[in-house]
Amino acid sequence: MSIPMPIERESRLQAWQVLLGGICALVLTIGLARFAYTPLLPQMHTQAGLGVADGGMLAAINYAGYMSGALLAAWIESPIWRQRLYSWGLPLALVITALMGLSTQFGVWALSRYVGGLCGAAGMLLGSGLVQGWLMRSGRRPELGLYFVGLGLGIVVSALGAMGMTGLNLGWAAQWQGFALLGLAFLIPAWAWRPPVPPPVVKAANGAAPSRRWMALMVAAYFCAGWGFVINATFTVAIVEKQPLLAGQGPWAWLLVGLAATPAVFVWDRIARRTGDVGALLIAFGVQIVGVLLPMLAGGLIASLLGALLYGATFIGIVSLTLALVGRRSPANPGKAMARLTLSYGVAQVSAPALTGRMVEASGSFDAALWLTAAVLAAGMLALVGVLRESR
């Protein structure tokens, strides 16, 4: 696994193979190794004795692993090691998915979630860089929007998998094993069509860098986006299932998230062409606030499903627009700028689910946590308004 692919193989790979392999890698390292936890969380509450607070803590541990992976990705400059770590993350994602169903010990679950976070960073950060680099070296347009389709597709796969296995009356542990087996179908193309080891990095010449204030505001806005993302990613199914008349409908909400997220990158790219990147981000934040509050204010299945739809339609657009904007504004070292934002996003992903789990256990309701999430997203919009003023 650790032996880099020969450079001559690069010419034999087609663009569709590299992109499809990357999409499969995202489904594997994030869709299954991370997102399968969301539809299975209610069953782990009822069948495995997992408390709400501990469920939130496991999500926080997962994002702690993701942050660790982001730090590692920002620190390692060797092309060989970047490709090597990406390659290791693919089969490891299967192993830690299977591990979740092999024990009822919190420590084992915590280990799985932490390593799963590392795998997610490999797929999201290392994988996107390798795929984009290969496309550029091959003279093709570096269209990473198609690559990020893997995020939405991963949610769809996790939702349909959970619905199908629940229909077969499989318990929570068997479903984790089922997801690991399902992951084999994605591991094969992800492994076979990995981008080869890129050539050594040539440091870019000095270029114009954004002001410290501009970057600080973007970091603050992305922290708020991370808060909004993780609350929905962790608790969407649980929020629906907690309503007495909606028991058993949670996986449908999660499926809608994935169906909305899959084409969302292309939609937000078109919006950004008309409004500018920051304008599109402001719209996305506002729509996500509506999606967060809908299940609480309106109630019922339609409001819950519409909230899930709005969340799915916005979170991936926020990620792609933000990283693209910061990368363009930091031509001398876009990777470093993106890493700073990723760490900010990760801080929110670690703190938000742990705090939310405690709030829900204390109050017996998600209402206060959803109001807090909406307030954090509103603060992110204020930061983006500051970015607009700073850019003038």
Q: Which of 146, 171, 198 finishes a domain?
A: 198
Q: Which of 156, 177, 198 finishes a domain?
A: 198
Q: Which of 163, 198, 233 finishes a domain?
A: 198
Residue 7, pLDDT score: 44
Task: Please indicate, yes or no, if residue 4 is contained in any of the structural domains.
Answer: no
Confidence of residue 204 (pLDDT cuts 50, 70, 90): very low
Question: What is the per-residue pLDDT across 106-152, written as a single tens digit (0 to 9) for each?
Answer: 999 999 999 999 999 899 888 887 887 787 777 776 556 778 888 88
Q: Which residues of 241-261 are buried (b: 16+ CB within 10 A; e: fewer)?
A: bbbeebeeebbbbbbbbbbbb
Confidence of residue 324 (pLDDT cuts 50, 70, 90): confident
Do 214 and 194 share a domain, yes or no? no
Do 22 and 115 share a domain, yes or no? yes
Residue 202, pLDDT score: 54
Distance, in Å, from the CA atom of 110 to the CA atom of 124, rounded to the nearest integer, reads 21
List the CATH number of the domain containing 313: 1.20.1250.20
Do 259 and 179 share a domain, yes or no? no
Task: Please indicate, yes or no, if residue 39 is contained in any of the structural domains.
Answer: yes
pTM above 0.85, yes or no: no
Distance, in Å, from the CA atom of 29 to the CA atom of 87, rounded to the nearest integer, reads 11
**Which single residue is written with the structure tokens 């981008």?**
195
258: pLDDT strictly greater than 90: no
Residue 1, pLDDT score: 44
Q: Residue 317 is inside which H or E element, if any?
A: helix 300-329
Do 99 and 31 share a domain, yes or no? yes
Opening angle at CA 16, ends 14 and 21, nearest 5: 100
Do 183 and 241 share a domain, yes or no? no
Range of 236's domain?
A: 209-392
Do 160 and 273 share a domain, yes or no? no
Do 68 and 156 share a domain, yes or no? yes
Do 165 and 23 share a domain, yes or no? yes
Task: Please indicate, yes or no, if residue 204 is contained in any of the structural domains.
Answer: no
Residue 205, pLDDT score: 45
Do 262 and 387 share a domain, yes or no? yes
Question: What is the per-residue pLDDT across 18-27, written as a single tens digit (0 to 9) for each?
Answer: 999 999 999 9
Residue 11, pLDDT score: 53
Tell me if 70 sits within 8 A of 121, measured CB to CB: yes
Confidence of residue 5 (pLDDT cuts 50, 70, 90): very low
Residue 141, pLDDT score: 62
Question: What is the per-residue pLDDT across 281-296, written as a single tens digit (0 to 9) for each?
Answer: 999 999 999 988 887 7
Confidence of residue 323 (pLDDT cuts 50, 70, 90): confident
Distance, in Å, from the CA atom of 117 to the CA atom of 111, rounded to the nearest integer, reads 10
Residue 244, pLDDT score: 62
Confidence of residue 303 (pLDDT cuts 50, 70, 90): confident
Average pLDDT over residues 247-259: 75
Residue 112: which of 181, 36, 2, 52 has the closest Cα?
36
What is the count of structural domains for the chain?
2
Question: What is the per-residue pLDDT across 63-98, written as a single tens digit (0 to 9) for each?
Answer: 889 889 888 887 887 888 889 999 999 999 999 999
Residue 203, pLDDT score: 52
User: What single letter denotes the amino acid at residue 335?
Assistant: G
